[in-house]
Structure 1
Amino acid sequence: MRSRRPHRRLSTLAAALLAGTFGLGISAASADPGDGSGPDGDDRVRTSTSSKAGTGKPAGIGLSGTQLAPDQIGRSANMELLKNVNPAGPLADSTGTDIAFEGNRAYVGNYDGFTIYDVSKPANPRMLSQVVCPGAQNDVSVSGNLLYLGTDSSRSDDSCASTSQPATQKDSWEGIKIFDISDPTNPRYLKAVETSCGSHTQTLVPGDAGTDYLYVSSYAPNAAYPDCAPPHDSISIVEVPKANPTAAKVVSTPNLFPDGGLANTSGCHDITAYPARKLAAGACMGDGIIMDISDPVNPRVVERVTDPNFAFWHSATFNNSGTKVVFTDELGGGGAATCNDAVGPTRGADAIYDLGSDNRLSFKSYFKISRDQFDSENCVAHNGSLIPVKGKDLMVQSWYMGGTSVWDFTDSANPREIAYFERGPAAGDDGGGTWSSYYYNGHIYSSDLGKGLDVLRVTGKDVAPAAGVKMDEFNPQSQPYVPRG
């Protein structure tokens, strides 16, 4: 469906959509019931209750990587799958992407739209609605009654009934769509804002009480694209008056790399804001940056680092005190097997930096899962978030077919994995592994590219205090300061 930059997904998009469809709300009754009441053959709901014959020990504990058969579960003893809800409805054959949270709801992006789940009972997620609105990657953020959706594929127009159209055509559209989610069973499309080179990712930066700013990241310009010509060393900033979201508009396009950056830097892949310190960390293809966002319309780059071991600066996560940043390297673009001895522990990995009071970054170490995967399995560092525990720096993170990892970087120089969950090589054509794994109000939610939503529970003394920490809203790329458990 994308006519410009290479596509990262490994499964196939839905063959067709309803003609003229713009937002299709599906009631919980017509979706997966989420209560485990289906017969054992109902492959839309999976649990991890099977055991090794004769041992009474749950299957998969201690197994990982090349020990696993296709789709077999492997996990540490302190991580369990509570529920898997397979894709359903018109998004069933498409690719799951990022997640945002508000109250008892999870908003899960998909290359063909997004799904809203009620997660008030985490072990039994209940689908509230789906919106069909194709436009990779459909990165999501939520703010009160508004949902922001990023479109990074060249479309015939800004509607949810658009079709793919070459980026070489001037009238093609990419950018931000805004939805009213005050009724989560029936989201309403309100407004679209076009941005240069589209919106591969978008980051919510709160302004004053009535304003949101979206930092829109995109990359890979081409001289043949009228709306995405080189050098494209900028981001787009969309201002949204929350009381009048239809007045949303691009208010600035700051150039982050006046000197051009590295040779492969032509935009940013992702930005994570930390409003409590008025900072943001940008992963910008060939560069990692720190920005001062005290004036959100005019961010300033105050620190910049490079790393010869990094192929593609993909994303960033602050620790809770804002004194460290974890950058990820998406070597191979999410489609390659990099979790093996041949690639090694310092490429396709996380890089941990201490962040000083002067906003200078100091490299400390790399972290990469040591669970070698088959060469058929795409595996590399991807999206994650903190687990809020006082006195510790803990993170949960997706590794595509390497699964979901929980790791401790309290000692910046000596990070270690403390829990994991993964599946063996994908059977059939619904694979690709987990795109995003985030901790929210006591549970881990993972968006698998082909297998839908996983709800996981991690236990043990390292993580137990986090269970008492509750948030009302969570956009992982807009990190709040979280009082720790």
Structure 2
Amino acid sequence: MRRWWIRSGLAIATAAATLLATGLPAAACEDDKPVTEAKHSLGDPGAIKGVRPVGNVPDAQGAISANFLSYGTRDVMVVSGQFGLKVYDLTANPAKPRAIGELSLPGLWETEDTEVDANRKLVFLSRDPRAFKGNTHTGESGIYVVDVAHPEKPEILSYVKVPAGHTTSCVEGCRYLWTGGPAKADDQPADWGGRPIWVTDVRDPRAPKVHPDPIELARNDGKTDYVHDVQVDKKGVAWVSGAGGVRGYWTSGLHRDPVQNRYRWATALNPVPYAGGGVSETAAPSKFMHNSFHPVGPRDDGAWRGHDLVYATEESFLPGCAGDGVLTISALDGSYQGEGWRSTPEKPFRMRSIGTWSVAGQEGSDPVSDDCSAHYFDLRGHVLVQSFYAQGTRFLDVSDPSNPTQIAYFRPADAASWAPYWHDGYAYVADNKRGIDILKLTP
């Protein structure tokens, strides 16, 4: 989610005071304020180290999210943004994507973390209630199911209204979708802090079926609140990020439910809690976790080898850069018995913080820009690549999770880095101003 801010001194002071007093995350207060440009140093030339830009796709300006699909020997990138979808062929030269198709839907809102069904060649495109000049109070939200079986001609197979619409994520191999966010609508319960998750059955992509009852309620110390994003790990556990932290769920198979203290079958409509909970306020004061990643499989994490860790980003914007959102790394130890589902304001449960990393004051940063919040990231091995809006794209060595270390950075003077993706040895960066930047780490 992009930040929104009124940049007069009085407005900033008032907003900051309100956030501190209420404990609300800055990211949850964006609703209908106009977008404003990030501040940069006068004549700022940008900064680059340890990475080589090998390509750029300027006609993808406005890019928010990217995905990659394989058609036999053909490699294709699908880019989403407020323009709709654009499709590029990477086969001949992955550093020089060739435009081959487009689905024009001007007026969409962000389309963060758009996901694809690689087998059925489908794209699931969220309609945020702010799309097409709507608003969070009364705007319509939903899901477009787009067929890209023929990538030159993306086609809308169906559209279905959903009570949420900021992000839509695949679970159960894209047989079902979980859709969450943004701030609650006027016709939703007054005590909600934001929209939870609605489940959509897309086994028949031409006739999606939305289940009427939401899930992932009471996630913020017992309060139903803003679910921002869902990421599924290699074991099939769906990790739900938003206000109140990160919680993981089994969506299939027989598992012990630590909340109900019994074994039961997990489904997308009735998932089984696995682990997770709130992130320590010393690591993420806002408690608003934007997105997450749970590494699975053998890892050499030094002293943390064998520990179960979850990586997450805090999205938060305060005046200046020092208080903005960070990358957090937390231990899941101690959260397997449903502690994160029993947390209350009186008896809060927080995962143990292992490490954090903030762009503030780091080499390569623009000291004048205050557009510094953590955003989407991608992890391959021990190298994590992450977007920090106007502070660009950062590459971190996380072989020691307690001490993430910057090893490279790419910050153009006009950076608006939203989401990076590892693909075929390159980092593809969806930059809202520049389109798609294609980067290669230097030896």
What is the CA–CA distance in structure 1 between the aligned matches of 2:404 and 2:134, rounded to whole Å? 45
Match of 1:136 among 105, 109, 119: 109
Query: Are positions 1:80 and 2:80 aligned together?
Result: no
Structure 1 position 395, deviation (Å): 1.1
Tell whether 2:339 aligns with 1:368. no
Counterpart residue type for residue 436 of structure 1:
A
Match of 1:316 in 2: 292
Change (3 A) 1:318 1:8: farther
Aligned length: 362
Q: TM-score, normalized by length of structure 1?
A: 0.67
* Corresponding residue SS for 1:331: coil
Asked if the contact 1:252/1:298 (under 8 Å) is kept, the reply is no
Q: What per-residue deviation string (whole Å, max 9, x for no partner) do you get for residues 284-314 of structure 1?
A: 1232222233322222444312432332211
Task: Give the Cα–Cα distance (whole angstroms) in 2 for the partners of residues 250 and 296 of structure 1.
Answer: 12
Where does 1:37-436 land on structure 2 (aligned, <5 Å)? 69-70=43-44, 72-76=45-49, 78-87=50-59, 95-103=62-70, 104-120=75-91, 121-133=93-105, 134-139=107-112, 140-143=114-117, 144-154=120-130, 163-165=132-134, 172-196=139-163, 198-207=164-173, 212-222=175-185, 225-226=186-187, 230-231=191-192, 234-241=196-203, 244-251=204-211, 253-258=213-218, 261=221, 266-274=225-233, 276-294=234-252, 295-301=267-273, 302-308=275-281, 309-311=284-286, 312-321=288-297, 323-332=308-317, 339=321, 342-343=322-323, 348-356=325-333, 359=336, 361-369=351-359, 370-371=362-363, 372-387=365-380, 389=381, 393-424=382-413, 426=414, 433-436=416-419
Deviation at 1:338, TM superposition (A): 5.1
Cα deviation, 1:305-337, whole Å, max 9, x if unaligned, reads: 2432332211111224393211111111xxx66
Structure 1: distance between partners of 2:423 and 2:137: 41
Q: Distance in 2 between matches of 1:314 and 1:166?
A: 21
Question: Which consecutive residues of structure 1, in runs of 5 or more, have no partner in the other structure?
Answer: 13-64, 156-162, 427-431, 461-485
Identity of aligned residues (%): 23
How far apart in 2 are the matches of 1:397 and 1:300? Answer: 30
Q: 1:5 aligns with which of 27, 31, 37?
A: 31
Aligned residue runs from structure 1 range 431-446, under 5 A: 433-446=416-429
Question: What's the offset of the Cα at 1:176?
Answer: 0.7
Q: Measure, in 2, the Cα distance between the counterparts of 1:259 and 1:437.
A: 28
Letter of the structure 2 residue corresponding to residue 235 of structure 1: I
Against the structure 1 CA distance between its residues 418 and 166, is the aligned structure 2 distance closer, same or farther, given a 3 Å change threshold?
Answer: closer
CA distance in 2 between partners of 1:8 and 1:75 (Å): 31
State how far apart, in whole Å, the 2-side matches of 1:123 and 1:154 are.
34
- Report if the CA contact (8 A) 1:320-1:386 is conserved: no
Q: Residues of 2 paired with 1:409 and 1:259: CA distance?
A: 28
In structure 1, C-alpha distance between the alignment counterparts of 2:320 and 2:130, rounded to whole Å = 30
One-letter code aligned to 2:52: E
1:213–1:239 CA contact under 8 A, matched in 2: yes
3-state DSSP of counterpart to 1:444: strand
Q: Residue type of the partner of 1:164?
A: K
In structure 1, distance between residues paired with 2:189 and 2:147: 29
RMSD across aligned C-alpha pairs, in angstroms?
3.0
Q: Is the 8 A contact 1:11 1:450 kept in 2?
A: no
Distance 1:315 1:259, change over 3 A: closer
Please report the TM-score for the alignment, with normalisation by the length of structure 2. 0.73
